């Protein structure tokens, strides 16, 4: 086993050459406003991300949860403008340090990607180039963005892999992806994302292929970067344990939209939207130590993006649905007391609403 001290802070040389975006950033590092991304298919245009808005403060973590296929990955990819055809961002703003990323040129965007905003992709083994050595893929970013020479980038790469808990990190740098296990590939991707010391990290299921012990090591590292270097994160995960561990805020998505959004404790302890409530019941079932015949699930199936239900998109599955729910599409409204910062998209919670979101 490696004897690397995982608590040692990451040592980076500060690069002087980094391209600074205009504006110092203000309170929010990332503001996503009314983002809409569609896929043109034979069935028509599918709104994979439909009017999504949220803000992330510098140094905070927003956890994104929601049913498979609800648009979490596409949201992350849209922020970085990595959605390829037939997908297209058709509406909305992505403000990073008050610069609208949608207005940057391709080359400006390339400088932001990897350097200031990094992403850990879902499905680690497919995200790596099978024909290139791990090390060569790792140092690419450091050479391009930080101007490192090959040797020091390589050394930095080994150090990063060691901190991810990879045994024999130096040898891993010389291996090809197929020679590593699924969890090892995932850790390589995390190391690559952190290599250029980004300010914002979009992590799409970063710890699914890891055992609890390794996962805790990664979470501790992220927590440390968060407190020491104000690393800001968008954490997409199905693992409510991971979300509970790192997220300050949680956004719950359903069928391309944010249906509930608020501080983590609010969402975990006082969920308001019927979908969130059922999702958490299912979480409680799986985490319970008592073996059950049948685990609770959110009944019904996810709607196909091509044929979304009228009115509230959750109505065919919602036990609280009423006639209005089939006709009126609810807005995302703030509920509770002023300043509670809890938003819900549900007609039956409107009695407690305060004001619409993102105004």
Partner 1 sequence: MLEIKKLYKHFVLSRTGQRGLGPIAENREMIRAVDGVSFTIDQGESFALVGESGCGKTTLARCVLRLLEPTAGQIFFMGKDFLALSGAELRRQRKRIQAVFQDPYGSLNPRMSIGKIVEEPLVIHHLGTHRERKEQVGELLHMVGLDDKQLNRYPEELSGGQRQRVALARALVTRPDLLVADEPVSSLDISIQAQIVNLLQTLEREFQLTLLFISHGLPIVRHLCDRVAVMCQGRIVELTKTREIFENPLHPYTRELLEGVPEPDPRIQRREAGQRKQRPPRAGSQSLGELEEVAKDHWVAGGIRGPWGFNLNF
Ligand X SMILES: Nc1ncnc2c1ncn2[C@@H]1O[C@H](COP(=O)(O)OP(=O)(O)OP(=O)(O)O)[C@@H](O)[C@H]1O
* Min dist. Cβ of residue 7 to partner 1 (A): 8
235: number of Cβ within 10 Å? 27
* Min dist. Cβ of residue 352 to partner 1 (A): 23
Partner whose footprint covers residue 101, from Mg ion, partner 1, ligand X, none (CB < 5 to 8 Å by kind): none
The H or E element spanning position 281 is helix 274-287
What is the contact mask toward partner 1 in residues 319 to 358, using x (rule: CB under 8 A)? Answer: ----------------------------------------
**Chain contacts with ligand X (rule: CB under 6 A):** 39, 41, 46, 48, 68-74, 86-87, 122, 178-184, 209, 305
Residue 151, φ and ψ in degrees, nearest 5:
-65, -45
Task: Check: CB of residue 190 under 8 Å from CB of residue 120.
Answer: yes
Using the structure block, give the residue that is written with the tokens 């608590």: 7
Member of 287, 338, 339, 359 binding partner 1 (CB under 8 A): 287
Task: Check: CB of residue 271 under 8 Å from CB of residue 336.
Answer: no
Member of 15, 244, 321, 358 binding ligand SF4 (CB under 6 A): 321
Partner whose footprint covers residue 325, from ligand X, partner 1, ligand SF4, none (CB < 5 to 8 Å by kind): ligand SF4
* Min dist. Cβ of residue 76 to ligand X (A): 8
Residues in 206-235 that interact with Mg ion by CB under 5 A: none
Member of 92, 256, 330, 336 binding ligand SF4 (CB under 6 A): 330
Report the C-alpha gap between 302 and 317 in whole angstroms.
9
* Min dist. Cβ of residue 351 to ligand SF4 (A): 12
Beta strands 28-41 and 44-57 are: antiparallel
- Contact segment (CB under 8 A) with partner 1 among 24-32, 202-210, 227-235, 335-343 equals 202-210
324: number of Cβ within 10 Å? 13
Q: Is 162 in the site for partner 1 (CB under 8 A)?
A: no
Member of 54, 240, 333, 343 binding partner 1 (CB under 8 A): 240
Q: Residue 110: exposed, middle, or buried by beta-carbon count in 10 A (0-12, 13-18, 19+)?
A: middle
Residues in 292-321 that interact with partner 1 by CB under 8 A: 292-298, 301-302, 304, 306-307
331: number of Cβ within 10 Å? 15
Burial string for 152-187 (b: 16+ CB within 10 Å, else e) reads ebbebbbbbbbbbbbeebeebbeeebeebeebbbbb
- Contact segment (CB under 6 A) with ligand SF4 among 38-46, 229-237, 264-272, 320-328 equals 320-328
Judged by beta carbon, residue 95 or residue 255, the one nearer ligand X is 255
* Min dist. Cβ of residue 216 to ligand X (A): 15
Q: Is 252 in the site for partner 1 (CB under 8 A)?
A: no
Angle at 166 between CA 248 and CA 82, to 5 degrees: 55
As given in the structure block, the two tokens for residue 240 are 């409510």
Member of 73, 214, 272, 334 binding Mg ion (CB under 5 A): 73
The H or E element spanning position 354 is strand 353-356
Using the structure block, give the residue that is written with the tokens 């992350």: 76
Q: Is 312 in the site for ligand SF4 (CB under 6 A)?
A: yes
Residues in 61-100 that interact with partner 1 by CB under 8 A: 65-69, 72-73
Which residues would be at the binding site for Mg ion (CB under 5 A)?
A: 73, 122, 181-182
């Amino acid at each position: 086993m490696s004897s690397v001290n995982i608590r040692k802070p990451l040592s980076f040389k500060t690069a002087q050459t980094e391209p600074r975006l205009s504006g110092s950033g203000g309170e929010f590092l990332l503001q996503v406003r009314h983002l809409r991304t569609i896929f043109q298919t034979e069935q028509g245009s599918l709104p994979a991300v439909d009017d999504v808005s949220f803000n992330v403060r510098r140094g905070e973590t927003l956890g994104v949860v929601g049913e498979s296929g609800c648009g979490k990955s596409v949201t992350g990819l849209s922020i970085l403008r990595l959605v390829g055809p037939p997908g297209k961002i058709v509406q909305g703003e992505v403000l990073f340090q008050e610069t609208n990323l949608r207005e940057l040129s391709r080359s400006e965007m390339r400088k932001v990607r990897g350097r200031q905003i990094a992403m850990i992709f879902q499905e680690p083994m497919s995200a790596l180039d099978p024909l290139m050595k791990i090390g060569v893929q790792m140092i690419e970013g450091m050479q391009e963005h930080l101007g490192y020479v090959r040797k020091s980038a390589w050394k930095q790469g080994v150090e990063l892999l060691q901190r991810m808990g990879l045994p024999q990190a130096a040898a891993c740098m010389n291996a090809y992806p197929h020679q590593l296990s699924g969890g090892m590939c995932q850790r390589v991707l995390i190391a690559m994302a952190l290599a250029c010391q980004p300010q914002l990290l979009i992590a799409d299921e970063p710890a699914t292929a890891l055992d609890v012990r390794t996962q805790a090591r990664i979470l501790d590292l992220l927590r440390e970067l968060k407190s020491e270097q104000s690393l800001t994160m968008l954490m997409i995960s199905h693992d409510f344990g991971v979300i509970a561990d790192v997220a300050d805020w949680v956004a719950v998505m359903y069928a391309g939209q944010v249906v509930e959004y608020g501080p983590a404790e609010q969402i975990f302890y006082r969920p308001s939207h019927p979908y969130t409530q059922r999702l958490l019941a299912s979480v409680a079932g799986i985490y319970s130590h008592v073996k059950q015949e049948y685990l609770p699930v959110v009944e019904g199936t996810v709607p196909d993006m091509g044929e979304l239900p009228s009115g509230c998109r959750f109505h065919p599955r919602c036990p609280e649905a009423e006639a209005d729910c089939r006709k009126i599409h609810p807005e995302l409204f703030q509920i509770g007391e002023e300043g509670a910062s809890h938003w819900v998209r549900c007609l039956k919670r409107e009695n407690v609403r305060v004001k619409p979101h993102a105004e």
